[in-house]
Amino acid sequence: MSNEKKTLLVVKDLKQHFPIKTGGLLNKKIGAIRAVDGISFEVKEGETLGIVGESGCGKSTTVRSIAQLYRPTSGDVIFEGLNLCEAKEKELVLARRNIQMIFQDPYASLDPRMTVRSIISEPLVVFNKRGLLDKKLTKLEIEEEVERLMERVGLNKAFKNRYPHEFSGGQRQRIGIARALALNPRIILADEPVSALDVSIQAQILNLLNELQKELNLTYIFIAHDLAVIQHISTRVAVMYLGKIVELADSADLYDNPAHPYTQALLSAAPIPDPEIERKRQRIILTGDVPSPDKIQPGCYFQARCPKRMPWCTCHVPPTFDLGNNHKVACWLYDEKDYSKISKEEAQADADKNKTEVK
Amino acid sequence: MKEDIKNKENAATNEFDQVVVGNSLTKDAWKRLRKNKMAVVGMVIVILYALISAFAPLLPLHDYDEIILDHQNLGPSFNKTAGELMMENKKKELYFKAWKDGSLVLTEEQSALIVSWIDESKTNSVWNLCLEEGEKQLAAGTFTWSSSDQKTLDKLQKKIDEDIFVDITKIYQGDTNLKKLDSDSLAKVYATMIGLDDTTLILEQTYKEMDAFVFNTIEMDADVKKNLSDEEKATIIDKEIEKLGDAYFEEKLAENLYGKINAQVLRDVTKILENESEEGTISFPYKDTIEVDGLTITVSSSLVNQRHYLLGTDYSGRDLLSRIIYGGQISIMIGIIGTLFSVFIGIVLGALAGYLGGKVDYIIMRIVDVMYGLPYMLIVIICMAIFGRSILNLFIALGIVSWLTIARMVRGQIMSLKNSEYVEAARSMGAKTWRIIFKHMIPNSLSIIIVYSTLRIPSFIMQESFLSFLGLGVQAPMASWGSLISNGVASMTIYPWRLIFPSIAMTLFLFAMNFFGDGLRDAFDPQSKNQL
Ligand SMILES: Nc1ncnc2c1ncn2[C@@H]1O[C@H](COP(=O)(O)OP(=O)(O)OP(=O)(O)O)[C@@H](O)[C@H]1O
Ligand code: SF4
Ligand SMILES: [Mg+2]
């Protein structure tokens, strides 16, 4: 279905490592947090890519790197043919017009010292001042645009002289959405836009985002850790674990046939509205801790908690296997070869052999 | 916008169609501040102090640096004049002397009491008792002054009645103000005044004085200076005068001559007024112009002993009320300027450290740490000792040691704001660094800076007072609360008002400022308990 559509954004082997430093004058680098560790995906025009994963797995870092709030350590982010990671300041600013963000915390993402009007008009004012808009806007035109945006996201335009603290969380998130829409972007990176809100208001905001998408042909990258929310809004879903994408599939496909053991565990933990099924089903309980993201693992990053771990997994990093139907998964269970019979020693010997070959 | 509010259709309404009036954070803060009674009282007091200090020259005060030796250490009084107080003091002294001679006879108990008070050095009680008893006995006729004492008292009374204080405000020759004349014309005026035909003598004398003045200002080793020969002296002086420039020299010369004329005029006018007052032809306070030696002089004059000192006087007979007000001016100024100075340094360095991070941050913050470790007052005292005692040095010394806290605070604030989502939002829409700093970071840190500054002012005043108390602060004849208090402490048992009034003035201000600052802090904190 999405095959006919144009590819808007390509992320290739994106890495974002935050150096751990000693601090002090010498400030030696003693390691790195591998917050995002080599992820690749494509986003097609008009679709919604959901990203799920537990806290700290690098979801926010991914979108911030795409938006170039952090300069990625390596890898490419290609938006409409322009590689943002190598783009010059000017090109980047122009591209920013098309890539806007909605933030998780509606309380922290709005400057408490600014009126709603100045918050929503800020992107316009910034671009207007730099002369990057198609034509220079007058104050009045900006004013009108602000009013139009406020009405579009369901805010009373009479509130434009108010300060953010006078609004409820849902209203604030609407302000944030209006700000993101101001420059008429092509793609919106939404970093958990609803997780700070009440459930009833979550639905309102999700519906608003849906409407806007249809109306303005927007593309979303949508982060959430609530699987129900992701299912509701996304066309495709990427599951992240420890800075890597472990499974990427169309939304319906992922929910029906989760392939990766991590995804299976996540889905088994999500409540099901039908009490009959809810009672009968088996939960997969994950044990163990998430390993620290500052170490390079020799094998599968999920092995410490994986219920289906094989000896082979402890020393071989799984590549991405295509299951057909756009379903990709990074797990040795899906290779053609059956690894379950291979003993620990054999696996280790194979890994050592590979290492020396590389050397 | 304004039209919206006027136009009800466009006004903000809630779901019940009620118009909702918006409010800004500042307005909100103001509302919260108003609810805090103590803070409001504090604010009113602070404003009052500020007004009094600012408009001190317009108030009917005696000059704060006018020394009247007859008025030393007069007590505070609402209704008694300085003369009456002088008389009272004299009588206390004389009655006490009379008691010691035995001419004033007191009861056994009273005498015993006096002896014990003397042992405890309760001077005031002794005097008051002697005065009280003496007056009683004088009225009853059981005590009379000895003739010498009576003479002293009469003389004092005469002095009190007749002493006049003359203030020359302006001297005119025809239509020209003497202040505007050049040295030659002034010399001529002076010559005619003292009955000389030509000005050579006067100019010679003045030049000599000028030479001495210039020589005094030259900075040089004292021993070397003393042992210079006359010729050497002359060449050094000439050189210095050349360096100072003709205009400056002329100005000083004119000043010198004007001073001479002024002194002469003062003498003449005082004589005239004294005569007239003896004849009873003028009444005081007197304000008029008088013609002397062809000059028109604007004079104001009063009977100096008719003055009222509400808060008493100090050891040189200066009005304490006026000194407290002018001292407050200086103390408050030190508080404000010192705060501005330290806040400025603190903001610049703190913002640099916070925004740039990395090595700059590390170096600045280590300097701060080291300076925190050093004994703060010691640095100030050393600075004052090295650079000399002047108000400017005081500001600088206090400023360089007191930017530390604000720098840390601003750094923390900027660092946390740097990672805040709204700054990220601004960056993601392509805002430039300066826009982020000026539109987002500074407005968001301003309230804590303002609050901190208001809390900082009292601590500066305290520090200045402490330094003045140690004798390192402002110098007489200037006053500050600290120097007044330190002067007062020296004689606090005998002249307690000299300690009490400045202390009250200062304490009240510090209290008010602290309450006001606390109120501001709560008001600017939207999460404070004092919610609307
Ligand atoms: N600026 C930074 N400097 C150093 N480490 C960082 C930085 N930002 C994130 N990290 C680390 O990178 C990892 C991923 O963080 P990230 O915020 O992307 O997680 P997340 O998936 O968004 O989690 P959550 O669901 O809680 O928002 C975490 O271990 C975090 O500590
Ligand atoms: S590769 Fe092995 S350890 Fe990793 S998820 Fe698959 S089965 Fe589990
Ligand atoms: Mg996050």
Euclidean distance between the first and final Cα of chain B, in Å? Answer: 25
User: Torsion over CA of A168, A170, A175 and A179, rounded to 10 degrees?
Assistant: 150
Determine the distance from the C-alpha atom of residue A263 to the mean position of all C-alpha atoms in its chain, rounded to a whole number: 16
Does residue B440 belong to the interface with chain A, where contact is any CB pair within 8 Å?
yes
pLDDT of residue B25: 64
Decide if pLDDT at B397 tops 50.
yes
pLDDT band for position B3 (50/70/90)? very low
Task: Find the range with the poorest average confidence among A22-36, A177-191, B432-446.
Answer: A22-36
pLDDT in tens, A146-164: 999 999 999 888 888 888 8
What average pLDDT does this structure show over A175-188?
93
Angle between helices B404-418 and B320-356 (to 10 degrees): 40
Does residue A131 belong to the interface with chain B, where contact is any CB pair within 8 Å?
no
Does residue B426 belong to the interface with chain A, where contact is any CB pair within 8 Å?
yes
Q: Closest by alpha carbon to B506, among B485, B487, B489, B479?
A: B485
User: Torsion over CA of A48, A49, A50 and A54, rounded to 10 degrees?
Assistant: -160
Task: Find the range with the poorest average confidence among A9-13, A344-348, B150-154, B332-336.
Answer: A344-348
pLDDT in tens, B82-117: 888 888 888 888 888 888 888 888 888 888 888 888
**Other C-beta atoms within 10 Å of B385: how many?**
11
pLDDT in tens, B292-307: 777 787 877 777 777 7
Joined together, the tokens standing for residue B87 give: 């008389």
CA distance B485 to B324: 10
For chain B, give percent helix, strand, coil, nearest 5: 70, 5, 25
Decide if pLDDT at B446 tops 50.
yes
pLDDT of residue B9: 47
pLDDT in tens, A237-287: 999 998 999 999 999 999 888 999 999 988 887 776 677 776 776 777 777
pLDDT band for position B2 (50/70/90)? very low
Joined together, the tokens standing for residue B384 give: 């004052």
Higher pLDDT, B212 or A257: A257
DSSP-assigned states of every residue in A231-262: HHH-SEEEEEETTEEEEEEEHHHHHHS--SHH
Joined together, the tokens standing for residue B324 give: 């407290």
What average pLDDT does this structure show over A181-199?
90
Tell me if residue B420 falls in helix, strand or coil. Answer: coil
pLDDT of residue B530: 47
Decide if pLDDT at B16 tops 60.
no
The pocket around ligand 1, CB under 6 angstroms, is made up of A 18, 33, 35, 53, 55-61, 225, 293
What average pLDDT does this structure show over B419-430?
87
CA distance B463 to B400: 13
Joined together, the tokens standing for residue B460 give: 């500066």
Residue B12 and residue A123: Cβ atoms within 8 Å?
Answer: no
pLDDT of residue B12: 54
Q: Closest by alpha carbon to B398, among B476, B390, B324?
A: B390
Decide if pLDDT at A308 tops 60.
yes
Backbone phi and psi for residue B510, each to the nearest 5 degrees, phi listed first: -65, -45
**Other C-beta atoms within 10 Å of A204: how many?**
16
Any idea which residue has 């990395």 for tokens?
Answer: B358
Q: Closest by alpha carbon to A160, among A191, A116, A219, A124?
A: A116
- For chain A, helix (H) and strand (E) counts, in that order, are 11, 12
Taking CA–CA distances from B1, the nearest residue in chain A reads A161
Residues in A closer than 8 angstroms to B23, CB to CB, are 163, 166
- Which atom, in ligand 2's list, is nearest to the CA of A303? 3
CB B70 within 8 A of CB B83: no
CA distance B341 to B346: 8
Any idea which residue has 């082979």 for tokens?
Answer: A312
Q: Closest by alpha carbon to B48, among B325, B335, B310, B321?
A: B325
Look up the ipTM and state it.
0.83
CA distance A221 to A189: 5
pLDDT of residue B188: 79
CA of A66 to the centre of ligand 1 (A): 14
**Partner residue opposite A109 with nearest CB, options B358, B359, B425:** B425
What average pLDDT does this structure show over A19-36?
77
Share of chain B above pLDDT 70, in %: 93
Handedness of CA A307, A313, A314, A320 (dihedral sign): negative
* Bridge-based pairing state of the strands A219-223 and A48-52: parallel
Decide if pLDDT at B502 tops 60.
yes
Decide if pLDDT at A1 tops 70.
no
pLDDT in tens, A8-18: 999 999 999 98
| Ligand 2 and A187: CB distance under 6 A | no
Residue A166 and residue B22: Cβ atoms within 8 Å?
Answer: yes
Decide if pLDDT at A117 tops 70.
yes
Does residue A151 belong to the interface with chain B, where contact is any CB pair within 8 Å?
no
Residues in A closer than 8 angstroms to B430, CB to CB, are 92-93, 96-97, 123, 126-127, 130, 132
